[in-house]
Amino acid sequence: MPAKKTKVARHGLLAGGNWIIDQVKLVDVYPQREQLANIRSQHQGTGGAAYNVLVDLAKLGAPFPLSAAGLVGKDALGELILADCRARHIDSRWLRATARADTSYTDVITEEENGRRTFFHYRGANALWAGEDLDFHKTRARVFHLGYLLLLDALDQKDARHGTKAARLLAGAQAAGLKTSVDVVSEDSDRFGRIVLPALQHADYCILNEIEAGKTTRFKIRQDNGTLDTVSLRHAAGALLQHGVKEVVIIHFPEGGFARTRKGEDVWQSSVRLPARAIAGTAGAGDAFCAGALLGLHEGWPLSRCLQAAVCAAAMSLSDPTCTEGMRSLEACLALGKKHGYQAALERED
Measured torsion, CA atoms of residues 209, 212, 216, 221, in degrees rounded to the nearest 10: 70
Q: How many domains does the chain have?
A: 1
Peptide bond before 148: cis, by omega within 30 degrees of 0? Answer: yes
Tell me what pLDDT residue 321 has.
87
Instruction: State the Cα–Cα distance between residues 283 and 314, nearest whole angstrom.
Output: 10
With respect to residue 154, please indicate whether it lies within any of the assigned structural domains: yes
Instruction: State the Cα–Cα distance between residues 200 and 196, nearest whole angstrom.
Output: 7
Tell me what pLDDT residue 195 has.
97
The pLDDT tens digits for 45-102 are: 999 999 999 999 999 999 999 999 999 999 999 999 999 999 999 999 999 999 999 9
Residue 220 CB neighbours (<10 A): 12
3-state secondary structure (DSSP) of residue 144: strand
With respect to residue 3, please indicate whether it lies within any of the assigned structural domains: no
Non-local (6+) Cβ contacts of 302 within 8 A are none
With respect to residue 245, please indicate whether it lies within any of the assigned structural domains: yes
CA distances from 17 to 147, 150, 169, 212, 250 (A): 5, 11, 11, 17, 19
With respect to residue 118, please indicate whether it lies within any of the assigned structural domains: no
- Residues 126-155 as b or e (16 or more Cβ within 10 Å = b): bbbbbbeebebeebebbbbbbbbbbbbeeb
Nearest to residue 27, comparing CAs of 106, 105, 114, 104? Answer: 114
The pLDDT tens digits for 208-261 are: 999 999 999 999 999 999 999 999 999 999 999 999 999 999 999 999 999 999
Instruction: State the Cα–Cα distance between residues 231 and 87, nearest whole angstrom.
Output: 45
With respect to residue 224, please indicate whether it lies within any of the assigned structural domains: yes
pLDDT category at 331 given cuts 50, 70, 90 is very high
With respect to residue 32, please indicate whether it lies within any of the assigned structural domains: no
With respect to residue 5, please indicate whether it lies within any of the assigned structural domains: no
DSSP per-residue codes, 163-200? EEHHHHHHHHHHHTT-EEEEEE---SSS-HHHHHHHHH
- For 175, phi then psi, to 5°, come to -60, -30
Nearest to residue 187, comparing CAs of 163, 166, 211? Answer: 211
- Which CATH number characterizes residue 171's domain? 3.40.1190.20
With respect to residue 347, please indicate whether it lies within any of the assigned structural domains: no
Tell me what pLDDT residue 349 has.
47
Tell me what pLDDT residue 117 has.
81
pLDDT category at 287 given cuts 50, 70, 90 is very high
Range of the domain at 177: 49-66+131-340
